[in-house]
């Protein structure tokens, strides 16, 4: 079976916040692109969650929109505010109770997967797994930069999942961890923020040459860089060009994917993330789940340009369609 295409509604956060698109609008435009898999963020689309129960009318509206537009519920993204209490972190039991609220929402929405923030301790997820199993959903840890599949924290999760014997635990890799080049929209924003051209050019090349981030930061200081220049250099601490092939040993627990992107050109190319290589790796690993577009370029351009998340997602979906057809005929 071929890789399927979907969209994380996180991509439309600007339009949602500004009241320019309703939940139904978001689902409709995805379906019109042929991206019928829908990943939803509870706090973004259902006001009051998780502190308040979502009214039945809102859930019925979700299902009506899904049916009307021929879409498929794929995943619910959820958070745990485990530092909500002053002076202490929520106990394991409190965190599990919080997850149970989201499991209940996922069941009501009909999403088979739940995106788990990578900061959540594996012991918490193992303890929550029986409740996920009972509800028929899987808890998927988002493997997100600066972490990667060879990082000790992710390996600890993998070991805990295997020891648990639960099929309800897995991974959701974010393609941003495979950032191959410094995104042009990042560079342009930092220049608008006051980074001198020569320093911006140096940081861009240093990233492509895989220079250690601490060396780059020190060199920028020696070049006279302050404030925004150091901020641009420090992005190298959070990003690295990890190898997509490192997903392969974990394919049996990968059930959904975030198609992170920052900028799609008019000819439908993401200049910073190697999607052709990624699709080849996923094809080799026999992945047949969804890749859900996740646009995060909005925050890098909104100071100077009008954000058009729908057009950006449309371009990425065209790229994905072409690559899937190329490698999975």
What predicted TM-score, i.e. pTM, was given to this entire model? 0.95
pLDDT band at residue 1 under the 50/70/90 scheme: low
Using alpha carbons, select from 189, 175, 247, 179 the residue that is nearest to residue 213.
179
Output the pLDDT for position 180: 95
270-302 pLDDT, tens digit each: 999 999 999 999 999 999 999 999 999 999 999
What domains can you pick out in the chain, each with its CATH number?
Answer: 4-180+241-327 (3.20.20.150), 184-237 (no CATH)
Output the pLDDT for position 48: 81
Enumerate the β-bridge partners of residue 239.
none
Least confident of 79-88, 111-120, 294-303: 79-88
Q: What percent of the chain has pLDDT over 90?
A: 92
| 241 pLDDT higher than 80 | yes
Q: Across the chain, what does the average pLDDT equal?
A: 96
Angle between helices 92-109 and 122-135 (to 10 degrees): 30
Show the DSSP H helices in the chain as ranges.
13-17, 23-32, 42-45, 56-68, 92-109, 122-135, 152-164, 184-192, 197-208, 213-222, 228-238, 275-284, 298-301, 309-327
Rounded to an integer, what is the distance from CA 120 to the centroid of its chain? 16
Compute the average pLDDT of residues 125-148: 97
Output the pLDDT for position 50: 78
């Amino acid at each position: 079976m071929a890789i399927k295409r979907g969209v994380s509604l996180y991509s439309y956060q600007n339009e949602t916040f500004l009241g320019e698109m309703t939940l139904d609008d978001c689902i409709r435009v995805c379906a019109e692109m042929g991206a019928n898999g829908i990943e939803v963020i509870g706090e973004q689309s259902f006001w009051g969650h998780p502190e308040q129960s979502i009214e039945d009318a809102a859930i019925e509206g979700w299902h009506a929109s899904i049916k009307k537009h021929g879409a498929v519920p794929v995943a619910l993204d959820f958070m745990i505010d485990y530092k909500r209490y002053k002076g202490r972190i929520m106990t394991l039991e409190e965190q599990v109770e919080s997850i149970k609220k989201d499991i209940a929402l996922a069941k009501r929405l009909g999403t088979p997967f739940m995106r788990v923030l990578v900061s959540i301790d594996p012991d918490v997820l193992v303890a929550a797994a029986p409740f996920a199993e009972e509800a028929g959903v899987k808890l998927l840890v988002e493997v997100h930069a600066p972490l990667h599949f060879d990082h000790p924290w992710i390996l600890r999760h993998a070991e805990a999942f295997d020891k648990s014997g639960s099929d309800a635990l897995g991974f959701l890799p974010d393609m941003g961890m495979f950032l191959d080049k410094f995104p042009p929209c990042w560079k342009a924003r930092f220049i608008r923020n006051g980074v001198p051209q020569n320093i911006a050019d140096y940081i861009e090349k240093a990233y492509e040459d895989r220079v250690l981030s601490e060396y780059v930061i020190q060199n920028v200081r020696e070049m006279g860089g302050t404030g925004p220049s150091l901020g641009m250099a420090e992005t190298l601490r959070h990003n690295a060009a990890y190898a997509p092939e490192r997903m392969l040993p974990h394919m049996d627990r990968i059930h959904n994917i975030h198609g992170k992107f920052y900028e799609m050109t008019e000819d439908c190319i993401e200049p910073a993330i190697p999607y052709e290589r990624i699709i080849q790796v996923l094809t080799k690993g026999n992945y047949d789940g969804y890749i859900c577009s996740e646009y995060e370029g909005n925050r890098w351009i909104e100071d100077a340009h009008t954000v058009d998340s729908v057009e950006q997602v449309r371009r990425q979906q065209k790229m994905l369609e072409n690559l899937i057809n190329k490698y999975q005929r």
